């Protein structure tokens, strides 16, 4: 395969990027000055060394070693609440709204509507561990499901309620969804501060 096609294939794996956009990226790099391209290459190599994933909530954050992130390790974090989100970009957005001060859990994806193999798409085992751990160590009282308001997000919401039901019966905590303050089709990643504030205030 020639280098242009090869690099195009890599870019095509990026979220939301198709063949044409991938090819535009390749030609963009060919037109950029060589310093830009070599710095970009270096940053791509560095990112795996400088950024680690929190072993408790799976958030990516800057650290030299594998320790807990700034949310999990911060004594000011409200550990009675746990917000479940699909991805890191959602965390950035909720953090910016400054209204939520509790714990997070990054699910890592949404559950496809037709699948028999859910753990392949979302962190089910890790979520159950996290919830049980937070109940025992920090008296968790409320789980907030904050998934996108599209069919797959709603399916995942239902799936998680079923998954958590046995723990809920055992420990009696609240499960709410962020949906009420959001309109259909909303993706958390693209929501503005006001929308997120409304959604958090009107959770049910």
Interacting residues with Zn ion (CB under 5 A): 54, 56-57, 59, 69, 72
Q: Shortest approach of Zn ion to residue 68 CB, angstroms?
A: 5
Q: Shortest approach of Zn ion to residue 105 CB, angstroms?
A: 8
Three-state DSSP class for 143? strand
Residue with tokens 């044409």: 20
Sign of the CA dihedral running 87, 91, 97, 101:
positive
Residue 51: C-alpha distances to residues 19, 58, 109, 116 (Å): 29, 12, 20, 32
Q: Shortest approach of Zn ion to residue 123 CB, angstroms?
A: 13
Residue with tokens 């609240």: 174
Q: Which is nearer to Zn ion, 72 or 107 (CB)?
A: 72
Q: Which is nearer to Zn ion, 72 or 83 (CB)?
A: 72
DSSP strand pairing (142-145 vs 60-62)? unpaired
Q: Which is nearer to Zn ion, 82 or 147 (CB)?
A: 82
Q: Which is nearer to Zn ion, 92 or 192 (CB)?
A: 92
Distance separating alpha carbons of residues 192 and 154, to the nearest angstrom: 20
Q: Shortest approach of Zn ion to residue 71 CB, angstroms?
A: 5
Q: Shortest approach of Zn ion to residue 70 CB, angstroms?
A: 8
Q: Which of 176, 186, 152, 196 is nearest to 81 (CA)?
A: 176
Q: Which is nearer to Zn ion, 105 or 149 (CB)?
A: 105
């Amino acid at each position: 395969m020639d280098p242009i096609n090869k690099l195009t294939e890599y870019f095509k794996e990026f979220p939301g990027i198709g063949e044409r956009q991938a090819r535009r990226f390749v030609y963009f790099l060919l037109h950029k000055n060589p310093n830009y391209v070599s710095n970009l290459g270096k940053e791509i190599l560095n990112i795996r060394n400088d950024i680690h994933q929190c072993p408790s909530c799976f958030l990516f954050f800057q650290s030299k070693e594998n320790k807990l992130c700034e949310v999990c390790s911060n004594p000011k974090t409200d550990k009675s609440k746990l917000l479940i989100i699909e991805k890191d970009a959602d965390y950035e957005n909720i953090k910016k709204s400054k209204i939520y001060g509790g714990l997070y859990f990054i699910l890592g994806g949404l559950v496809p509507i037709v699948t028999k193999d859910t753990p392949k798409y979302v962190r089910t085992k890790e979520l159950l561990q996290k919830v049980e751990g937070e109940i025992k160590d920090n008296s968790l009282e409320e789980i907030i499901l904050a998934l996108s308001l599209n069919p797959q997000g709603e399916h995942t919401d239902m799936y998680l309620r079923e998954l958590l039901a046995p723990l809920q019966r055992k420990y009696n905590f609240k499960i709410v969804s962020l949906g009420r303050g959001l309109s259909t089709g909303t993706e958390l990643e693209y929501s503005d501060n006001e929308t997120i504030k409304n959604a958090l205030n009107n959770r049910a």
